[in-house]
Structure 1
Amino acid sequence: MFATLPSNMEQLSGVIDEDVSRSYQTMKKNTGGELVFRRNDRSSYLFLSLSISEEKERLYYHTSALDTIARRNRVVFKPSFMYDCSDGKKSIRLYYYMQSQTPDFFSIMPYSDNSNPLAVRVNNPDLENSLYHHYDVNIRFNGLKNQQYIGFFATGNFYHNLVGTRTTYNSQTGGYTYMSDNIGGGGNWDFWTTTSYGVALDKARLFRLDYRLWFNGLRRKDFDIAYDDNSTQLCYVLRTELGNSLYFKYQKDKLSINLGGKVEWKHGTSDRSNFEKLNAYDFEYGGNMTYTLPLGISLSTDLKEYCRRGYSEKSFNTSDLVWNASLARSFCKGKLTLKAEPLIFFRISRAPCMRWAARARPRNGTIRCQAMRCCI
């Protein structure tokens, strides 16, 4: 690495924009402790952690208008909790933790980057910490009559004081000004839940039914563009999904057959006037089969129809029939597997279209067939 000689510093200063250039050095020091409670026995496990630390930070900050040393202190609290209970008939698992995020020290120092007058970036000295909460719930009951099981799973996140970007547009200059700021309070969250149920349909337990019901949601609140003023305008987007699936399974010796399908409804909305709402659903149905041939060769095949309906863009409302198959053989006690797909893979797509002719009605349902031959 070559050093810069003093005689070259004057030439170097000619290419540096002192108005937007800055330099900084930071030093951090963390001290703290953690209180942990743990209990473990044959069928359950309990864990509780309370972590508290003090963070001290010193920043040497230099710009053309400011040369200073800044300091800040903060206390960080990070709790976490986990409970796990399991026996032959049930299992319960609960988990929670919280985290905080502090903006970088140099990002809250006075600074404005106007090197591009159409895209000015301004620091916000009033940025606050953000909080993040996460949870997991998993409950399952086994060992019921006819191999029944009931399960429930939920996971999600809550966000407090998330950092977004405030955007202000100046109609006279055509320029934008960007500044990071906190989304006050909550308003941002997401979750996923699933309920499942399964049961054997006969005494020999060859036939089985499995059902799943799920509900997911996501909400995001963020800054909208402000025109010719500095007012804070917030908007939100909410998306939910509700779906369920039902499958019948048959398994005996070397043969396994699975028939069923699923449907999922999707809904999206917002308080923006130019937002196009989503109210559509996707569904699929079909089956698959697996059979073990002589010499340990496994034959797998499936045939499914994938459909989408309710989208405002007509090209998204499609129906695709897909069929494929494969052969597989394991060697070296399962460490090596050879898989081949010598059969033809068919995909038939049916998308709505219009064909006009004299004295004829519009006809829907052009069929496109694609075939692909591959081998792995």
Structure 2
Amino acid sequence: QRAIDADNSFRSHINKDRYELTGRTPSIKLPVFGLHAFLSPGVNYRSERIDYTRGAYKKKMTRNLWSLEPTLFVGKDNCHFKYNVKKVLPELTDILDITTTDNPLNLWSGNPNLKNTDIHRIDFFRGFYKYDENYTSRRAIEIKAYWQLMRNAIGQYVTYNRNTGVVHSTPMNINGNWDMGASFDFNGILDKKNRFTLSNRTEIGYINSVDYVAIEGESGKDPRSSVRTAKANETVSLDYSFGKYSFGAKLRCAYIHAEGSREDFKTINTADVDYGLNATLELPLKLRLFTDITLYSRYGYSDKSMNTNNLVWNARLERSFGKFTVMADGFDLLGKLSNV
């Protein structure tokens, strides 16, 4: 008993029950472009209980909540809009009036005044498809976009004491978090002999992240920290196959730009670029060779050791004997793979 830290030893028993009323309203035809609309009411009931003991602190609590989390769908065929609301409850342990001190340099306190988080999201989808006479897909184009807003998101209010080095964190509600994005996908066969296949995915996004950071003794500064991040990704692959042989080329680019409202925030501009080749070959003695080689490059990182080029070569040799297959794998044959 003399070795136990009573204030940081706890027993927690949590029960969570959730009941959902599923279903949807009848579909209504709108007098615009032949669209249809229906609504899923999303009636939910939650009952959560906690029995918690930490040292001399004891707490039994029950939380009951009815919520409407509807989904509205409007569209037709391969085109639609969808709007839905989702409610997220803070963890029961986050709303207890406790402070953990097991790490004296990293304290954490609960917040009994936390509110529930509402997430509003709008999605758009449009697809274009082309099939041959056998109803086999030859080309597919898909366009997607979304927008999402979080009300009363739960962030960590972090205060830092420059003199002692102590960090004290407390969950608190905050507004201003939202994000949006869009993507374009193409997959299709390019020639009549079905030898060339092109796959492409383009993505763009924007994230506005808001949280709290405060320095003890500097109460005049705004504790809100806002980081705005723009990102773009491009992935392209071209494959050529004939008979038992196939060859391919691939390219992936990922770019991130981030800037913050705080004076000590350093603007980020990074790019990860991967490109390489792959092949499948039939060899004598019924052997099959699978091989790929890719150059992984990184640019723009503040730590210069991160801005590297790593050439990675993998290969597999296999031979089938009836129902059995014997294979030998060669991974990172050049020994250039980074642990990052």
> Normalising to structure 2: TM-score of the pair?
0.71
Q: Answer yes or no: is the 8 Å Cα contact 2:286–2:319 preserved in 1.
A: yes
Per the TM alignment, residue 195 of structure 1 is displaced from its structure 2 partner at its CA by: 0.9
Name the structure 2 match of 1:313: 303
Q: Answer yes or no: is the 8 Å Cα contact 1:226–1:232 preserved in 2.
A: no
Per the TM alignment, residue 120 of structure 1 is displaced from its structure 2 partner at its CA by: 5.8
Q: Answer yes or no: is the 8 Å Cα contact 2:87–2:116 preserved in 1.
A: yes
What's the Cα RMSD here? 4.7
Q: Which amino acid aligns with 2:193?
A: A
1:285 matched to 2:275: yes
Give the total of aligned pairs.
325
Q: Which amino acid aligns with 1:151?
A: E
1:300 matched to 2:290: yes
Name the stretch that deviates more: 170-179 or 313-322.
170-179
Name the stretch that deviates more: 305-314 or 336-345.
336-345
Name the structure 1 match of 2:116: 129
Per the TM alignment, residue 130 of structure 1 is displaced from its structure 2 partner at its CA by: 0.8
Distance 1:140 1:15, change over 3 A: same
> In structure 1, what is the Cα distance between the partners aligned to 2:140 and 2:215?
53
What SS does the corresponding residue of 2:305 show, helix, strand or coil? Answer: helix
Distance 1:272 1:144, change over 3 A: farther
Per the TM alignment, residue 277 of structure 1 is displaced from its structure 2 partner at its CA by: 1.8
Name the stretch that deviates more: 77-86 or 256-265.
77-86
Q: Which amino acid aligns with 2:207?
A: L
Q: Answer yes or no: is the 8 Å Cα contact 2:94–2:171 preserved in 1.
A: no
The structure with the larger Rg is 1
Percentage of identical aligned residues: 28
> In structure 2, what is the Cα distance between the partners aligned to 1:284 and 1:61?
50
> Normalising to structure 1: TM-score of the pair?
0.65
> In structure 1, what is the Cα distance between the partners aligned to 2:196 and 2:299?
32
Name the structure 2 match of 1:195: 184
Identify the match of residue 49 of structure 1 among 40, 44, 50: 40
Name the stretch that deviates more: 14-23 or 51-60.
14-23
Name the structure 1 match of 2:334: 346
Name the structure 2 match of 1:373: none
Q: Answer yes or no: is the 8 Å Cα contact 1:241–1:266 preserved in 2.
A: yes
Per the TM alignment, residue 214 of structure 1 is displaced from its structure 2 partner at its CA by: 1.7
> In structure 2, what is the Cα distance between the partners aligned to 1:176 and 1:76?
36
Q: Answer yes or no: is the 8 Å Cα contact 2:312–2:332 preserved in 1.
A: no
1:179 matched to 2:170: yes
Per the TM alignment, residue 311 of structure 1 is displaced from its structure 2 partner at its CA by: 2.5
How do 1:4-15 and structure 2 match up within 5 A? none
Per the TM alignment, residue 212 of structure 1 is displaced from its structure 2 partner at its CA by: 2.8
Name the structure 2 match of 1:220: 209
Name the structure 1 match of 2:238: 248
> In structure 2, what is the Cα distance between the partners aligned to 1:32 and 1:207?
48
What SS does the corresponding residue of 2:263 show, helix, strand or coil? Answer: coil
Name the structure 2 match of 1:36: 24
Name the structure 1 match of 2:248: 258
Per the TM alignment, residue 97 of structure 1 is displaced from its structure 2 partner at its CA by: 4.0
Per the TM alignment, residue 202 of structure 1 is displaced from its structure 2 partner at its CA by: 3.8
Distance 1:114 1:81, change over 3 A: same
Name the structure 2 match of 1:4: none
What SS does the corresponding residue of 1:141 show, helix, strand or coil? Answer: strand
Distance 1:328 1:238, change over 3 A: farther
> In structure 1, what is the Cα distance between the partners aligned to 2:152 and 2:299?
37
> In structure 2, what is the Cα distance between the partners aligned to 1:180 and 1:77?
25
Q: Answer yes or no: is the 8 Å Cα contact 1:137–1:153 preserved in 2.
A: yes
Deviations along 1:126-170, one digit per CA (max 9) or x if unpaired, are 321112345655543221799443222346643221112223345
Deviations along 1:317-368, one digit per CA (max 9) or x if unpaired, are 22222323212345666xx54331369822569xxxxxxxxxxxxxxxxxxx
Deviations along 1:177-215, one digit per CA (max 9) or x if unpaired, are 44321013xx22345532123554444342344333221
Name the structure 1 match of 2:157: 166
> In structure 2, what is the Cα distance between the partners aligned to 1:143 and 1:14?
74
How do 1:47-86 and structure 2 match up within 5 A? 48-53=39-44, 74-80=65-71
Q: Answer yes or no: is the 8 Å Cα contact 2:162–2:215 preserved in 1.
A: no
Name the structure 1 match of 2:314: 324
> In structure 2, what is the Cα distance between the partners aligned to 1:103 and 1:179?
13
Per the TM alignment, residue 226 of structure 1 is displaced from its structure 2 partner at its CA by: 3.5
What SS does the corresponding residue of 2:172 show, helix, strand or coil? Answer: strand
Can you give the 5+ residue segments of structure 1 that lack an aligned partner in the other structure?
1-12, 40-44, 350-376
Name the structure 2 match of 1:152: 143
Distance 1:254 1:46, change over 3 A: farther
Q: Answer yes or no: is the 8 Å Cα contact 2:314–2:330 preserved in 1.
A: no
